[in-house]
Amino acid sequence: MPIRRTIKKNQKEWLSQNAQLKILDLGCSNANYWLEANHYADIHDYKNDFEIKKLKFTQIEPDKKLPFNDKEFDYVICAHVIEHVNDPIFFKKEIERIGKSGYIELPTRLNDNMVFGCDEEIFGHKWWFEFDDDKKKLVFSKKVNAIEQFVSVGSIFDLTEIFDDSFIIQTYWKDNIDMEQKESYRFKKKISFLSLVKKYFSKNIRMQISKLKNILRHNDKK
């Protein structure tokens, strides 16, 4: 079955109805992990955090083979992880190896261009992702900052609740994940936050002046 778009809410509902499955949250963090999973894994050591909650946790190593058996999991959750890894193709092959199906969530290019604080040298975002609806595949390229970032991670979470299609790619896969790399985007000039603000206020001021002129004209006619 080719990888396809989905909705996270629907996937969560389905998992909650199939609790007997072996479900891995890969790259879980210790804050935004999926409650529907029954096994968790991350490069950071959250063992104590999960043991307190009586949840199974495995620490993994970056850029290394995952410490799980072939097809060990019925479902693998991988939310906001692949944009961080050094080799997305190797990582997706490892996900295919250990899982039978799963959910992949990634930030859109717009999301990645707006949010600051995601470009740490070691574990920051390295790749832009998009979904090719015609070919049913994930396509990635080297991340390029086209806009000066001006939105916090917390703010983007709030915006995502309303504009999820604009800010996140939500996909479901079974058996295999079709993915390929393409050339990086090129931009003549990076758009600065100051220029965006200036344009906003310039237009806003013009609109207010226009409204005022209309009011004055209306009063003159009286």
Both tokens assigned to 60 = 């993994």
Q: Which residues contact 171 (CB under 8 A, 6 or more apart)?
A: 3, 4, 5, 6, 103, 104, 105, 131, 138
Per-residue pLDDT reduced to its tens digit, 130-159 = 999 999 999 999 988 777 766 777 777 777
Report the pLDDT value the prediction gives residue 190, as an integer from 0 to 100: 66
- Average pLDDT over all residues of the chain: 86
Report the pLDDT value the prediction gives residue 199, as an integer from 0 to 100: 53
The full length of the chain comes to: 222
Q: Please say whether the beta carbons of 72 and 101 come within 8 A.
A: no
Q: With bands split at pLDDT 50, 70 and 90, how would you rate the model's confidence at 26?
A: very high
* Chain centroid, CA 66 distance in Å: 21
Per-residue pLDDT reduced to its tens digit, 155-171 = 777 778 788 888 899 99
Q: With bands split at pLDDT 50, 70 and 90, how would you rate the model's confidence at 28?
A: very high
- The average pLDDT across 88-106 equals 98
Q: With bands split at pLDDT 50, 70 and 90, how would you rate the model's confidence at 213?
A: low
Q: Please say whether the beta carbons of 73 and 39 come within 8 A.
A: yes
Both tokens assigned to 19 = 């609790």
Strand order in the sheet with 127-132: 127-132, 137-142, 179-181
- Measured CA to CA, the distance from residue 217 to residue 148 in angstroms comes to 41
101-107 and 75-79 strand pairing: parallel
Q: What is the pTM of this model?
A: 0.82
